[in-house]
Amino acid sequence: MADQAALDALANGSHGDPFAVLGLHKQGTAKVVRTMQPQAREVRLLSAANEVVAVMERIHPDGIFAAELPARLRSYRLQLTGYHGEIAIVDDAYRFGSSLGDIDLHLLREGSHQLIYEVLGAHRMRLRGVSGTRFAVWAPNASRVSVVGSFNDWDGRRHPLRLHPGNGIWEIFVPGVRSGAQYKFELLDRQGRLLPLKADPFAHYCEAPPGNASIVYKSRYRWRDSSWLKKRPADPRLDQPVSIYEVHLGSWRRATQDNGRWLTYRELADELVTYAVDMGYTHIELLPVTEHPFDGSWGYQPTGLFAPTQRFGKPDDFRYFVDCCHQAGLGVIMDWVPAHFPTDEHGLHRFDGTALYEHADPRKGLHADWGTLVYNYGRNEVVNYLIGSALYWIKEFHIDGLRVDAVASMLYLDYSRKAGEWVPNRHGGNENLEAVEFFKHLNTAIHRLGAISLAEESTAWPGVSRPVFSGGLGFTYKWNMGWMNDTLAYMRENPVHRKFHHDKMNFGLLYAFDENFVLPLSHDEVVHGKGSLLGRMPGDDWQRFANLRAYLTFMFAHPGKKLLFMGAEIAQQHEWNHDGSLDWDALQSPLHAGVQQLVRDLNHLYTSRPALHAKDCSSDGFAWLDWNDRDNSVLSWIRRGSSNQAMVCIANFTPVPRDNFVVGLPAGGMWQIALDSDQERYGGSGTANPEFLSATEGQYQHQQWHVNITLPPLATLILEPSNSH
């Protein structure tokens, strides 16, 4: 018989090895079944065919029952009678052995399980012919772990998990638990103290705040994007156009006819996808859709790295959204946050009573600026968790790329820390060597699946987007934060003063090809009092819109892939508000509608002309015509796709039209204006140039040909040979 101490420990929820007592065990020559059912007045032992074998004896007053199983039977079930007379026939969780294989346990122990999300968490399955859910969680320093939920009255005594001591994995198969069941983990720390209930780190679906339960979920989605996936290159194609529409799903558009609620994933699959395709974007980038407790974090303080936020629907609804993007020819990039996590008590913070996912030392484990915790990249299990999340989104949701947030904060041990607030690495430096190795493994794994990775990295760390084999971090692209800061600072200047700041517009070309850059005009530039892009432009209304049009055209003509945050394309007047919708009514104004039309035309021009995208990341695709015309605040340059594909770009950042302006051309013949940001259809003045421009032979700006044009005020022109397209 089980001794009284073991029964007492089960009854008070402190027993660390319930499978040693509960379930079917030999007792001498007999077979005895023990079960913990504190909610039951009576328990009967049944055969697998539901025949009553015995009325079980209550061997502990808190609801532990036992009975001998006849030798002829190899399996059993239980009939429970509640205190109000209700009867239920159930399968006993403690008659099932572990469903985790030796290979899974070995890979989990060394932190190298590429499909970790298929092992840990909650998974619907059939075991020995019985349907239920397996729950598994990593908590090596807990003395007891239970799964609690609606299926066991949130009673931690009912379903304590089995410990695999070699790797700290706890697991149990609970028969009868269906999709939609809410659950959490109840843990005792190593001293036996009860911790706050924890959400599942691997949950695939979560309860809406302020609730924080995890929800059992099994996908039943049938994908229809096989043709898209087959076309996705095995290696990143830097010669392809990339124009990204960055979107916060909760504030792109609201259902104004329904109290301004959020649009669902399925509604967005119709409205947002249709809009992005019409506008000519190649990709949609989503601010993090990983589950997060606070709307105002925009998703950047996630608690569920394996769950699409429930704010807009269920996980299969998000799959539908991605599927519709692919069928419409749009790639999907998702912002992903491995840099930090919030301190919410239901999350990863001191998950098993110790600093498990984070560093124990606050000099390494705390982001004081954000009040968040830093992952321990030196722990294999934590790295496995993070890389498993990245692969999960690519494999399970067909995401085409991950934009990794706050990379600089991960690379530097002294990031936003004063002397004495950080710990040097083993060489005495400030580089986080463990994070460096993490990035190399992460990007190798991402590229192996045919997806891309983008780094939001704001420093001069070398080789961020260079291959791992050549010493780089292995990202596909890096955000060019320097270009963004310099050019926006220039555009804020009154045009009369811009000649004194001319270098801000050309300096970026000194390093433009050191990395594979994306030019980002992101959400970070239209929050926290910075105003909208339009709001930064000087002058009266006409000049402000003209400045914005000239700047956006300058961006699309500049080397580097493109990213625009939602609202920039309609010249949003006000700073972004995540609690509302974009100001779509502004499009009733011709000036706002003109900017939208310009961005639409820029996207279509950029994606259709190899000269504007094929060598975005190569120095032989760019040449200055004149980088130093500071007195006129004019810049002119050539973009090349190949030796016979060239376009000429001229930007005039003053409100002064310039007649008979001479610009060099790389070829003779007839040229035409492919795009003029001053056209009347965009809200411009419509300064006229002939439909066709005839090149004149004669060296100018180191070119063998040149042409005289009228340079419109506050405008950027893009010229191309008339027979090139």
Quote the tokens at residue 646: 């060239």
Quote the tokens at residue 423: 């710990």
Q: Beta 261-262 vs 182-188: how paired, if at all?
A: unpaired
Rounded to an integer, the average pLDDT of 101-116 is: 94
Spell out the domains of the chain, with CATH numbers in brackets: 4-95 (2.60.40.10), 102-215 (2.60.40.10), 618-721 (2.60.40.1180)
Mark whether 456 is an active-site residue. yes
Please give the DSSP secondary-structure letter assigned to residue 119: T
Rounded to an integer, the average pLDDT of 125-139 is: 97
Query: Sorting pLDDT into bands at 50, 70 and 90, what band is 59?
Result: very high
Strand partners, 647: 639
Query: Sorting pLDDT into bands at 50, 70 and 90, what band is 642?
Result: confident
Place of tokens 């007891």: 144
Give residue-wise pLDDT tens across range 466-492: 999 999 999 999 999 999 999 999 999
- Please tell me the distance from the alpha carbon of residue 111 to that of residue 383, in angstroms, as a whole number: 7
CA 44 → CA 40, 87, 262, distances in Å?
A: 10, 11, 50
HSE of 627, CA atoms in CB hemisphere, 13 A = 13
pLDDT at 688: 81
- Please tell me the distance from the alpha carbon of residue 34 to that of residue 577, in angstroms, as a whole number: 58
- Please tell me the distance from the alpha carbon of residue 348 to that of residue 356, in angstroms, as a whole number: 8
HSE of 290, CA atoms in CB hemisphere, 13 A = 30
Q: Which of 104, 405, 434, 720 is catalytic?
A: 405
DSSP three-state, residue 587 = helix
Please give the DSSP secondary-structure letter assigned to residue 37: -
Rounded to an integer, the average pLDDT of 256-279 is: 96
Cα 235 to chain centroid, rounded: 21
Rounded to an integer, the average pLDDT of 110-117 is: 94
Closest CA to 459 of 422, 402, 412: 412
pLDDT at 618: 96
pLDDT greater at residue 330 or residue 691: 330
Give residue-wise pLDDT tens across range 210-254: 999 999 999 999 999 999 999 988 888 999 999 999 999 999 999
| 196 has a pLDDT exceeding 80 | yes
Q: What type of residue sits at position 383?
A: V
Cα 53 to chain centroid, rounded: 54
Q: What percent of the chain has pLDDT over 70?
A: 100
Query: Following DSSP, what letter does each residue of 387-430 receive, concatenated?
Result: HHHHHHHHHHH---EEEES-HHHHHBTTTT--TTSS---TTSSS
Closest CA to 224 of 323, 319, 317, 318: 323
Rounded to an integer, the average pLDDT of 82-96 is: 96
Numbers of helices and strands, H then E, in the chain: 14, 38
pLDDT at 1: 59
| 347 has a pLDDT exceeding 90 | yes
Rounded to an integer, the average pLDDT of 190-213 is: 96
Radius of gyration of the chain (CA): 31
Q: What type of residue sits at position 484?
A: M
Q: Which of 92, 186, 381, 456 is catalytic?
A: 456
| 724 has a pLDDT exceeding 70 | no
Rounded to an integer, the average pLDDT of 131-135 is: 98
